[in-house]
Amino acid sequence: MSASPTHVAQLAAYLGSGPPLVLTGAGISTDSGIPDYRGPDGTRRVTPMSHQEFVSSAAARQRYWARSYAGWLRFAAARPNPGHRAVAALQSDGRVGTVITQNVDLLHQVAGARDVVDLHGRLADVICLDCSARYPREQIQAWLAEANPQAADGIDRDPGGGSRVSAQIRPDGDVVLAPELIEGFRSPRCLVCRGDRLKPDVVFFGASVPPERVAHCFELTDAASGLLVIGSSLMVMSGLRFVKRAAAQGKPIAIVTKGPTRGDDLATLRIDADISPLLHAVASEVTALA
């Protein structure tokens, strides 16, 4: 699908006024096979596990890790799409500044972006909620495979999305599993304190972004010449607060995404379009991106 020449010209002109701060959401990763939580109308299609549910129930942690084990096989295989590569090229060329991403997939970094704030954390990192020990997700994934050979075999034998394993991963990396693949699943334990409250180091639904990270992003907003929002519906305050702050300071705000957002009335430039083709076209026009 090609980008509208009008949209390309509008976004290129916006970038010509100075490198804006960038805020990205799940919409930029959908072309990499990671769907967002909301439909085109902004309505939530799936409800993720809440932080409170995860920390308060061993059964909930078992369910999460069983589903997340299966989901990671697909999530970790996702690769940057032309939208990610375009943002990296624009940043390298000085056309945009720091990227604040609400995504936990690290695809901006894999694409080559070097100045990225992972607002909601990184799914590739795991932390113990009791003693703060940290682990790479690949280490946890290997332990889960070894500790749950029957579940791992059942998941690996059904990669096509039949009734036992859904084909669609979610933005937080899990999938829907049949009950028999969850029953008896062994959750990971911390090697330091032996507790079972290991959790991906991401902000779960219902939890708050660490205040020091929010403060840093406010500082970036204050210092930026403008704000470019890509692929976010801005339905939660996590990202909308930066749009509101930029608007209060009279800074130009561009929003590029499909469907409505909560920040539309604050936008200086609003483009409702497919993200990857547009960003690739703009980056090809104003940078050396081939």
pLDDT of 132 reads: 97
Mean pLDDT of the chain: 89
For 39-82, the pLDDT digits (tens) are 454 454 456 789 999 999 999 999 999 989 988 877 888 999 99
- Reported as a pLDDT band with limits 50, 70 and 90, residue 153 is low
Q: Pick the catalytic residue: 7, 84, 120, 280?
A: 120
Q: Tell whether residue 81 is among the known ligand binding residues.
A: no
Q: Tell whether residue 105 is among the known ligand binding residues.
A: yes
The 3-state DSSP class for residue 233 equals coil
β-pair partners for 202: 121
pLDDT of 160 reads: 45
- Identify the weakest region by mean pLDDT among 77-86, 114-123, 142-151, 274-283: 142-151
How many Cβ atoms sit within 10 Å of the Cβ of residue 194? 10
pLDDT of 158 reads: 45
Token couple for 15: 């970038």
Q: Tell whether residue 217 is among the known ligand binding residues.
A: no
pLDDT of 181 reads: 75
Percent of the chain with pLDDT over 90: 74
Better pLDDT: 89 or 45: 89
Domain layout of the chain by residue ranges: 1-34+80-120+206-290, 45-77+124-202
Helix (H) or strand (E) segment spanning residue 227: strand 227-230
Cα end-to-end distance, the chain, whole Å: 17
- Report whether pLDDT(166) > 90: no
98 DSSP assignment? -
pLDDT of 54 reads: 95
For 194-227, the pLDDT digits (tens) are 999 999 999 998 899 999 999 999 999 999 999 9
- Report whether pLDDT(164) > 50: no
**Superfamily assignment of 1-34+80-120+206-290 in CATH?**
TPP-binding domain (3.40.50.1220)
Q: Tell whether residue 190 is among the known ligand binding residues.
A: yes
Mean pLDDT of 124-137: 97
Mean pLDDT of 180-184: 81
Closest residue by Cα to residue 181 from 147, 153, 160, 141? 153
- Report whether pLDDT(167) > 50: no
- Among this protein's residues, is 120 annotated catalytic? yes
Which long-range contacts does 182-187 make (Cβ < 8 Å, 24+ apart)? 182/62, 182/63, 182/66, 182/67, 184/150, 184/151, 185/62, 185/65, 185/66, 185/69, 185/148, 185/151, 186/144, 186/147, 186/148, 187/58, 187/61, 187/62, 187/65
Q: Tell whether residue 232 is among the known ligand binding residues.
A: yes
How many Cβ atoms sit within 10 Å of the Cβ of residue 261? 26
How many Cβ atoms sit within 10 Å of the Cβ of residue 125? 18
pLDDT of 277 reads: 97
Closest residue by Cα to residue 84 from 279, 227, 233? 279
- Report whether pLDDT(161) > 50: no
pLDDT of 170 reads: 55
